[in-house]
Amino acid sequence: MRELIVEADGGSRGNPGPAGYGAVVIDAATGETLAEAAEYLGVTTNNVAEYSGLVAGLRAARDLDPTATVRVRMDSKLVVEQMSGRWQIKHPAMRPLAAEARSVLPPDQVTYEWIPRAENKHADRLANEAMDAGKRGEQWSPSGSTADLDAGGAAGSSAPRKGRGELRDQPRPTRSQTTPRSTPDVRATPEAPGSVAPLEGRGELRDQPQPTRTRTAPVTTPDANDIRAARNVASEAPTAGAAPPDLGTPTTFVLLRHGETPLTPQKRFSGSGGSDPALSDTGRDQADRVATALAARGTVQDVISSPLARCRETAAIVAARLGLDVRIEDGLRETDFGAWEGLTFAEVRERYPDDMSAWLSAPDAEPTGGGESFEAVAHRVAAARDQLLAAHTGRTVLLVSHVTPIKTLVRLALGAPPEALFRMELSAASLSVVAYYGDGNASVRLLNDTSALR
């Protein structure tokens, strides 16, 4: 059976930033380059670019010979280990791309191999050509590529480089520019259009740096919060030879509890099934103070709010100061407390003692009258979290929500049990921050900060 080698790479200059991928298909027996693929992707992350290169390379191999065995060689430890099934795919943005890659060819035809970056020069050059083309406002063109020449031929084989076979000339009508082609004269010199730019600023999220690698990730030095404990990484990879944590640009959720309502000082249950109170004068003042603080910080790029009035009002005050629009996310609404809405804790304890005791001891227990259990809220909030992470990768997003959803996001980030909800304080108009990384791990950076109100 014929064997093809796919070498793929992707990069993002900024992570997220201008990104592109490259892929090459090589005949394993001869070392001959059979097809190349590259594309400028716009602004996205390094991991998305790498997975996109993998998908393009597999498609090119399938188009050449759908019955061939394919050996994928990549210098991304993350992609290789995840596609090999040894690491979990936790980040929601990666799962559709991984599923797409698996669907191209039958799984028993494809194997994955990690290689050092020095052995992946051809695909690397293609990815950089695609990013250079994007910088010029163009898409990558095979006629201007010097990637194969710059990489010294087929890096994936020790066989001498031979001429390209007379394979199909037509580019595949997909988003990638995939072209099995003969060597064009335009590529005779490195100065031809599409020559490779320096690799600075590529923004690698490389998972197992090697001594031969020279690219530097433009990331900030992690503090204690960013280390995210080796315990979390252990669930993602084997202990032996495990890759270091992904310390690239995270997606950051700034979690703002709404300002006070008339019910807040009275400590009454106020969920999504009650009267939906608006902010009080104190609550509006709190929102204004937080808006001032966030405007001075200048990092928030998007504002998302619960649909309830107190959150929408808080979000509108902050967004107006930041010059941003507000989008509503139903998954961020507060718990439905059923018959307990509007009552104090003491009143519920007196009227519904058994239901209260069950609610405090079991996450699947519902408030009296068919309210939501903590378990149901956690499922809803986690689904909203995953959707928002996929839609706002690498950005800083203000989420205006309530006590239970915010505590739930923090609890899930920590991997803490449901009873941890009762061990957190969350004041009105307080700020908390959780950062989510490309490898699926999270870092709680701030909890219940009320300094803006002082």
DSSP letter (8 states) at residue 397: E
Q: Are 126 and 145 in contact (CB under 8 A)?
A: yes
Residue type (1 letter), 281: D
- Phi/psi for 21 (5° steps) reads -130, 165
How far from 186 is each of 122, 167, 195, CA to CA, in Å? 18, 19, 11
C-alpha to C-alpha distance for 298 and 94, rounded to whole angstroms: 29
DSSP characters for 341-361? TT-BHHHHHHH-HHHHHHHHH
Strand order across the beta sheet in which 17-27 lies:
110-114, 69-74, 3-12, 17-27, 33-44, 177-179
Termini Cα distance of the chain: 72
What dihedral angle (degrees, nearest 10) is formed by the CA atoms of 195, 197, 199, 201? -140
C-alpha to C-alpha distance for 71 and 437, rounded to whole angstroms: 29
C-alpha to C-alpha distance for 178 and 352, rounded to whole angstroms: 67
Q: What count of residues does the chain have?
A: 454
Structure tokens at 102: 């698996």
How far from 314 is each of 288, 332, 397, 427, CA to CA, in Å? 8, 14, 15, 14
Residue type (1 letter), 401: S
Nearest to 154 by CA among 38, 2, 55, 6: 6
The answer to whether 260 is a known catalytic residue is no
- How far is CA 452 from its chain centroid? 29
One of 50, 119, 236, 258 is an active-site residue; which one?
A: 258
C-alpha to C-alpha distance for 341 and 369, rounded to whole angstroms: 10
Radius of gyration of the chain (CA): 26
The answer to whether 122 is a known catalytic residue is no
CB atoms within 10 A of CB 258: 28
One of 36, 236, 260, 334 is an active-site residue; which one?
A: 334
Angle at 291 (CA atoms; ends 288, 297), nearest 5 degrees = 150
C-alpha to C-alpha distance for 3 and 28, rounded to whole angstroms: 6
C-alpha to C-alpha distance for 438 and 233, rounded to whole angstroms: 12
- Give the helix ranges, DSSP H, for 250-352: 281-297, 309-322, 345-351
Residues marked active site are found at: 258, 334
